Structure 1
Amino acid sequence: MPNPIADPLVEVPDTSPTSDLVRIEATQAGAATVVLNRPARKNAFDADLISAMDEAFETLRGAEGVRVVFLRGAGAMFSAGADLEWMRRAADRTEADNREDAMAMATMMKKLWDLPTLTVALIEGGAFGGGAGLAACCDLAIATQDARFSFSEVRLGLIPAVISPYVVAAIGARQARALFATGQVFDAAEAQRIGLVTELVADVAGLTAAHDRIAREVLACAPGALAEAKQLVGDVAGREIDHDLLELTARRIAAARVGPEGQEGVRAFLERRKPAWAAG
């Protein structure tokens, strides 16, 4: 049997009902948690889990009042990557069928990447293959110190294609080449050093504390401004700093200053009170 810490494929009995593969837990303050709920399979990916995640992210994209989205795995593993049975079935399907399968995963990850709220991966146990891709899709990734990571697709004759845009954006091309080409397992400290993980905590209690801290911090942020700030990064990253970019940034801040959140935020600061979005 593969070691789920060293290998992204999992071969254990599956007892999770398809209808409960993903849970969304939410607080009245607007903190939503998406829980991958295949603990018996180490939250490994298959078509059903990908579809359930896609539906969850689509739901959250249009959910009014959601301020931050956390992502975590049920049990003691964030995600062990690809499910072995899913991979076996894929090997017997046509290239066209596999392309359709891969597009479903690609669409799901893009929906996570495009969420207008702050997104935070809470990682324990490990994040392998697609699981590490989910971490790279999130704005923040917080991991326990004993968590492990790997992109081991090449050891199976495969490549980490669908997750590659997000991983390269998170850790850079050179680090991605090295890790994609060797398939090595690396620890949480290395994941933080290269940028895949943004914060380390001692244990699961530390993940809970980080969840609570970030949920409180987000309440101080205007939700519309937060979404615009995330979009701004995508719009300016990699662009030449020329007149067109200067005009774009000037337009953005001018619109923010006269917009309802900008007006309320400045007035609240001058009047030494909480703005409306943080007053609850």
Structure 2
Amino acid sequence: MYETLEILRDAGVATVWMNRPEVHNAFNAQLIADLTAACRALDGDDSVRVVVLAGRGKSFSAGADLNWMKAAGEASEADNFADAMKLAGMLRTLAEMNKPTIARVHGAALGGGMGLASACDICVAAERAVFATSEVKFGIIPAAISPYVIRAIGERQAYRYFQTAERIDALRAAAIGLVHEVVADEAALDTEVAAVVGALLQGGPRSQAAAKDLIRAVANRPVSDTVVEDTARRISSLRATPEAREGLDAFLAKRPAAWVPQE
């Protein structure tokens, strides 16, 4: 269905493989359009519980295709803006999916590739993975990816890396909050991703979507009466749902909940 993607499905897990290995899965207009459409389609598919984003070939994603960027820079201001909005829209679509998302990172995750890793809920990286916000080396800024990278690593680290464009190895990426788990190699990467997927499949789909929305509502806000009342409303509305009743009944009966895959 997608010119630049390969999507594999297995027991509620959709793995979205970026499939431009000859250019290290660099973004162009087609990849941006395909990722946007795929994220929307998978988010609306009740048979999909978890989405894993990965890259074919030697890299996760080397960011924007420089030929595409050069062409955009030579276009009119209106066309340039339209292209930038499509990239920003793709990242937002990924970041705001209701399903849990995992970035499976090996090799290079540079520029927009680091943005993709940041926009996913969870990031697992091989030890030899490398990250960077490399845009200033090309006379531009990491604008579209900035909300997600800053959310992941914080303002203080962003002041450094947005300006230096230094390469960040996987262990350093974990230390600054971008990566959740670092593993030895790609074989271990698949094992760790499977373990995280297994944990995610234990949770209720509706509650996971609500948990993501809760984080967006509460993060970086002071604990005010409005925030406290909002959190109380969220839990009170969820406690009355069939999913919550099933989860509590399953726990008390010492059985798996209905949403947990049967082995």
**TM-score clears 0.5:** yes
Q: Which residue of 2 aligns with 1:21?
A: 4
Q: Which residue of 2 aligns with 1:3?
A: none
What is the aligned counterpart of 1:100 among 82, 102, 109? 82
Report the Cα distance in structure 2 between the residues aligned to 1:278 and 1:150, rounded to whole angstroms: 37
Report the Cα distance in structure 1 between the residues aligned to 2:139 and 2:47, rounded to whole angstroms: 44
What is the aligned counterpart of 1:82 among 55, 64, 72? 64
Matched, 1:58 2:7: no
Matched, 1:259 2:238: no
Cα RMSD (Å): 1.2
Q: Is the 8 A contact 2:3 2:30 kept in 1?
A: no
1:19 Cα offset (Å):
4.7
Q: Which residue of 1 aligns with 2:199?
A: 217
The superposition leaves residues 236-280 of structure 1 with CA deviations (integer Å, 9 ceiling, x where unpaired) of 112221222111111111112111111111111111111111153
Which stretches of structure 1, 4 residues or more, deviate above 4 A after TM superposition?
none
Matched, 1:174 2:171: no
What is the aligned counterpart of 2:100 among 115, 118, 126? 118
Report the Cα distance in structure 2 between the residues aligned to 1:145 and 1:235, rounded to whole angstroms: 33
| 1:127 alignment partner, SS class | strand
Aligned AA for 2:3?
A: D
Matched, 1:199 2:172: no
| 1:276 alignment partner, SS class | coil
Aligned AA for 2:189?
A: L
The superposition leaves residues 121-144 of structure 1 with CA deviations (integer Å, 9 ceiling, x where unpaired) of 000011000000000001111111
1:82 Cα offset (Å):
1.4
Number of positions where the alignment pairs a residue of Structure 1 with one of Structure 2: 262
Q: Is the 8 A contact 2:124 2:193 kept in 1?
A: no
Gaps of 5+ in 1: 1-17
Matched, 1:139 2:139: no
Report the Cα distance in structure 1 between the residues aligned to 2:69 and 2:197, rounded to whole angstroms: 37
Report the Cα distance in structure 2 between the residues aligned to 1:235 and 1:19, rounded to whole angstroms: 33
| 1:277 alignment partner, SS class | coil
What is the aligned counterpart of 2:226 among 231, 244, 248? 244
Report the Cα distance in structure 1 between the residues aligned to 2:118 and 2:80, rounded to whole angstroms: 23
1:20 Cα offset (Å):
2.6
Matched, 1:190 2:172: yes
Aligned AA for 2:126?
A: T
Report the Cα distance in structure 2 between the residues aligned to 1:115 and 1:91, rounded to whole angstroms: 30
Shift of the 94–110 alpha-carbon distance from structure 1 to 2, 3 Å rule, reads same
Report the Cα distance in structure 1 between the residues aligned to 2:261 and 2:77, rounded to whole angstroms: 54
The superposition leaves residues 171-228 of structure 1 with CA deviations (integer Å, 9 ceiling, x where unpaired) of 0011011101111112111111111111101000011101221222222111000110
The superposition leaves residues 85-127 of structure 1 with CA deviations (integer Å, 9 ceiling, x where unpaired) of 1122122111211110000000111010011111100000110
Deviating more after overlay: 176-185 vs 212-221: 212-221
1:81 Cα offset (Å):
1.0
Q: Is the 8 A contact 2:42 2:48 kept in 1?
A: yes
Aligned AA for 2:210?
A: E
Q: Which residue of 1 aligns with 2:252?
A: 270
